[in-house]
């Protein structure tokens, strides 16, 4: 794979969305009203996917781009549970609670900053209000191995959790020190063993490339060591450096961040590494063992993308619960407030903590389908899009097809009569290749402080 001219590719390093949604979260606004949101909740019929955000962390990992509340006060954590319950009560008033729950996810923050009995209390309460959980439901939690014990694992087992994602990030000592996250491999190993002992069949580990002091050599070692964990899935995220949004990222000396060509080399190496170690690449930043259902989904064309990355459960109505959580229906996105005071005040007043969102126009709906197909399958079946959306693809997307020419000329994309296909090397630039289909991109073209860089 040494034939790629990474220096040349560096020119593609520009701000671009990660497309966990389309329109992106930057388009969420207050024109999408509370009443509209309620209307969607009350009329939706799809199966349910519940996302519960537990935002607290003990200390800051400086790279972190998630919505986090740092605290060491136990009272804050327990108060939040009381508010979550109020929110669940209100949701249950507006949602047909006989609808089947096919997915449940605890995200964070650090969900396991909560004690076992508190996690039990939260899940038990939600199950009491939304009782119809599918036998096949995917029930998962993000876990920081530094905060994880057997009592918590027992609670997860009791409630049928079948998927755990561990944050690892990087295994190099110098990198760990710089990102303010010391986490020896042995500690992660113990966490993984604990999950396996309790029958968790799908274990994911998260890594990030693009962090301070990472080089191709240090990352090779990290990948080598990661095999000792034998994860079923691995996510290797491109570090999203957005210091204008995330204060702790300002602690990094930007001259220590790897340059775009080094990042590309690292990621290309990562792809080759996992493919020669029995994993298959899934979407832009995941790898899965061939027996993992994520991989099976690609072959069946059932891989979908949402706020949690890639999933096999497409078409569900995602309901976001907790501070900053995002919900997604066929025709809308809805996000809760990011301000704890506002969150509490809304619930005290008997209202959902909904703040903003977007209702998808026909154009949004079509572009969402196209962009998500690209992000999930690295190809677009133009004929299928034409049949499903009643358009002439090449006319409707004339601008986008023209913009794709530079990728065609660089052998990164092929366009035939029926299909747009991204080459293996092109997958490194999938965000760039999706951008021409994004109607909002022009608006951001001038602004440097919007999205993280694609490379
Ligand atoms: C790998 C998982 C990540 C999640 N969020 C981020 C990462 C790296 C960080 C991130 N997400 C967004 C941005 C800014 C724009 C961009 O670079 O693409 C960054 C740095 C987009 C975004 N994703 C979500 C929201 C609400 C936004 C907009 C930023 C904002 O206003 O908050 C939703 C979301 N994505 C992730 C989580 C955990 C999450 C919400 C709970 C994963
Ligand atoms: C949920 C996962 O998101 C990843 N994560 C958190 N912050 C960032 C960021 N700024 N850039 C890329 N990935 C990030 C971590 O790998 C975490 O485990
Ligand atoms: S990476 Fe995880 S543990 Fe670290 S600050 Fe972010 S949410 Fe908290």
What are residue 30's phi and psi, to 5 degrees? -90, 5
Rounded Cα–Cα distance for residues 279 and 284 (Å): 14
Q: Please tell me the number of the ligand nearest to residue 109's CA.
A: 3
Mean pLDDT of 352-365: 98
Q: What is the CA radius of gyration of the chain?
A: 22
Rounded Cα–Cα distance for residues 255 and 94 (Å): 51
Cα dihedral 187/193/198/203 (nearest 10): 90
Angle 382-389/362-377 helices, nearest 10 degrees? 150
Q: How confident is the model at residue 126 (pLDDT cuts 50, 70, 90)?
A: very high
Question: How much is the pLDDT for 1?
Answer: 47
Are 447 and 454 in contact, with CB atoms under 8 Å apart? no
Over residues 314-323, the pLDDT tens digits come to: 889 999 999 9
Task: Determine the straight-line distance between the first and last CA of the chain, rounded to whole angstroms.
Answer: 18
Considering the entire predicted model, what is its pTM?
0.95
- Residues lining ligand 1, judged by CB closer than 6 Å? 17-18, 20, 25, 53, 65-67, 107, 237, 240, 242, 307, 324, 326, 451-452
**Is the predicted pLDDT of residue 298 greater than 90, yes or no?**
no
Residue 26: closest CA among 335, 306, 432, 343: 335
User: What's CA 208's distance to the chain center, in Å?
Assistant: 13
| Any ligand 2 atom below 6 A from CB of 236 | no
Residue 249: closest CA among 407, 65, 383: 65
Mutate which of 15, 16, 65 to test ligand 2's pocket (most atoms within 8 Å of Cβ)? 65
Omega before residue 352 within 30° of 0, cis: no
Omega before residue 109 within 30° of 0, cis: yes
- Tell me which fold the domain 1-21+362-440 belongs to: Arc Repressor Mutant, subunit A (1.10.10)
Mutate which of 68, 141, 206 to test ligand 3's pocket (most atoms within 8 Å of Cβ)? 68
Q: What is the CATH number of domain 31-320?
A: 3.80.30.20
> How many Cβ atoms sit within 10 Å of the Cβ of residue 36?
15
Over residues 388-444, the pLDDT tens digits come to: 999 999 999 999 999 999 999 999 999 999 999 999 999 999 999 999 999 999 887
Q: Which atom of ligand 3 is nearest to the CA of 57?
A: 8
Where do the domains of the chain lie?
1-21+362-440, 31-320
Running DSSP on this structure, what letter comes out for residue 5?
A: -
Question: How much is the pLDDT for 3?
Answer: 64
| Any ligand 3 atom below 6 A from CB of 434 | no
């Amino acid at each position: 794979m040494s034939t790629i001219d990474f220096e040349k590719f560096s020119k593609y390093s520009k701000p671009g969305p990660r497309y966990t949604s389309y329109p992106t979260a930057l388009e969420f606004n207050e024109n999408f009203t509370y009443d509209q949101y309620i209307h969607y909740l009350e009329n939706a019929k799809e199966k349910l996917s519940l996302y519960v955000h537990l935002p607290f962390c003990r200390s800051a990992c400086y790279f972190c781009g998630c919505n986090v509340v740092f605290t060491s006060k136990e009272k804050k954590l327990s108060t939040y549970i009381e508010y979550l319950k109020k929110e669940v009560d209100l949701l249950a008033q507006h949602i047909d609670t006989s609808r089947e729950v096919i997915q449940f996810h605890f995200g964070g923050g650090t969900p396991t900053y909560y004690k076992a009995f508190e996690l039990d209390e939260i899940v038990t309460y939600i199950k009491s209000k939304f009782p119809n959980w599918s036998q096949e439901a995917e029930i998962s939690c993000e876990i920081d191995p530094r905060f994880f014990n057997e009592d918590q694992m027992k609670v997860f087992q009791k409630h049928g959790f079948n998927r755990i994602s561990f944050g690892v990030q990087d295994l190099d000592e110098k990198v760990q020190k710089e990102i303010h996250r010391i986490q020896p491999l042995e500690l992660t190993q113990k966490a993984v063993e604990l999950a396996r002992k309790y029958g968790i069949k799908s274990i994911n580990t998260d890594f990030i490339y693009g962090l301070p002091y990472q080089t191709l050599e240090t990352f090779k070692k990290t990948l080598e060591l990661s095999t000792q964990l034998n994860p079923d899935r691995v996510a290797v995220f491109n570090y999203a450096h957005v210091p204008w949004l995330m204060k702790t990222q300002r602690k990094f000396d930007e001259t220590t961040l790897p340059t775009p060509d080094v990042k590309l080399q690292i990621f290309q190496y990562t792809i080759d590494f996992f493919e020669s170690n029995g994993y298959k690449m899934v979407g832009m930043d995941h790898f899965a063992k061939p027996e993992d259902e994520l991989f099976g989904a690609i072959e069946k064309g059932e891989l979908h993308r949402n706020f949690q990355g890639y999933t096999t459960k497409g078409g569900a109505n995602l309901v976001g619960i907790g501070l900053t959580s995002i919900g997604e229906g066929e025709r809308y996105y809805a996000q809760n407030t990011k301000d704890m005071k506002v969150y509490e005040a809304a619930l005290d007043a008997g209202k959902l903590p909904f703040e903003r969102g977007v209702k998808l126009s026909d154009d949004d709906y079509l572009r969402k389908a196209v962009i998500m197909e690209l992000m999930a399958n690295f190809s677009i079946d133009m004929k299928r899009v034409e049949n499903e959306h009643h358009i002439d693809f090449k006319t409707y997307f004339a601008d986008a097809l023209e913009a794709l020419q530079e990728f065609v000329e660089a052998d990164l994309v092929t366009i035939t009569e029926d299909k747009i296909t991204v080459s293996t090397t092109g997958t490194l630039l999938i965000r760039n290749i999706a951008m021409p289909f994004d109607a909002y991109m022009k608006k951001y073209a001038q602004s440097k402080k919007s999205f993280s860089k694609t490379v």
